[in-house]
A = this chain, B = another copy of it.
Amino acid sequence: MKRIGIAGATGLVGETLLKLLESGPHQVEELRLFASERSAGTKLRFRDREVEVRELDARACSGLDVVFSCLEAGLAAKVVPDIARHCPVIDKSSHFRLKDGVPLVVPEVNPDALAGHKNIVANPNCTTIPLAVALAPLGRKFGLQSLSVATYQSVSGAGRALLNRLQYETEFVAMKRAPDIKGSPLKAQIADNLVPQIDDFDKDGHTGEELKLMKESAKILGLPGLRVAVTCVRVPVSVGHSLAVAARFAQPVKPKDANHVLKDAAGVVLKTGGDYTTPAEARGKDPVFVSRVRPGAEPNELLLWVVTDNLLKGAALNAVQVAELLFKEAK
């Protein structure tokens, strides 16, 4: 019997969390939903009842077993520390992820990082999670040294506004018309197009999303010296993030040896022999799908195709799994 709060309950990840809690192993004794003033008063269905969304107030989190925070980074920076005075918070924003003393946890990869947490646990970026799940077991066995990654990120990773934007623009494309891009959060159309920019640029020309993947991967995998080169690209896909990965190890690795490791790896579904997963197939499913494992350009390099539902394992599911670990620890 758990008492659970969700801050930012009306967003896409909040909605996915609600669905997971409905079908999860823990009976939810109490559910408190919070959102911005704008969404306060909204009623959300949870099983057979309706729960009113309240305006976020840290004090109202008192007595909860855990709060899932699905707020954007700026707001999370302000309110998460206040909530953490009352109960543990699993925060999906980027704000706390790289801070010393804040565990950044993918349960299949680094559950021990939770030890000694101070009521704030960070949930990694939605591309970092599948990358870590796929690479951790290979890295443990063969010694991971560096990565080249290109991402194919769905619009739902940026929230409901961009998901609706893709749908809106797709209606133009279906009629063979140029999409109206007035009011888009992106610099270009996203339907029938790609946008190779997620978040702002730093002085070197890396985007915020690229920096997240580089730094968070190193922290989660416990490899501070991990060298990561990455290009993050938004693609006209509603749900499902994909990654083309070239991973270099400390020793030569044969694809069949990598497959042997991956077929039993926690959280991974491996496909072999010309079978592979597309984002549409991964939608609504829990695992990280790994396929197309093959030789790279050198004997110590492997290529992989990694796909996951970015709202599930990429966000809400990982957070729920972190909560399970917290509940176990609290016993």
Residues of A within 8 A of B (CB): 146-148, 150, 152, 167, 170-171, 173-176, 188-189, 192-197, 201, 204-206, 227-229, 231, 233, 235-238, 240, 242, 244, 246, 255, 274, 276, 278-281, 291-298, 301, 303, 305
Closest CB in chain B relative to A175 CB, distance in Å: 8
A299 to chain B, nearest CB (A): 11
Which residues of the partner chain B approach A194 to less than 8 Å between Cβ atoms? 152, 235, 237, 242, 278-279
Beyond A193-B240, A205-B274: 20 further Cβ-contacts under 8 Å? A150-B244, A170-B174, A174-B175, A188-B281, A189-B278, A192-B238, A193-B279, A194-B278, A196-B242, A196-B244, A196-B278, A196-B305, A205-B255, A205-B294, A227-B297, A228-B297, A229-B246, A231-B244, A231-B305, A233-B244
A173 neighbours in B (Cβ, 8 Å): 170, 174
Question: How distant is A275 from chain B, measured CB to nearest CB, in Å?
Answer: 9
Pairwise interchain contact B148-A193, C-beta atoms closer than 8 A? no
Instruction: Report how many copies the assembly holds.
Output: 2
Instruction: Tell me the dominant secondary structure on chain A's binding face.
Output: mixed
Q: Could you say which residues of chain B place their CB within 8 Å of the CB of A276?
A: 196-197
Residues of B near A196 (CB, < 8 A) are: 242, 244, 276, 278, 291-292, 305
Contacts of A237 in B (CB 8 A): 192-194, 236
Residues of B contacting A193 with CB < 8 Å? 237, 240, 278-280
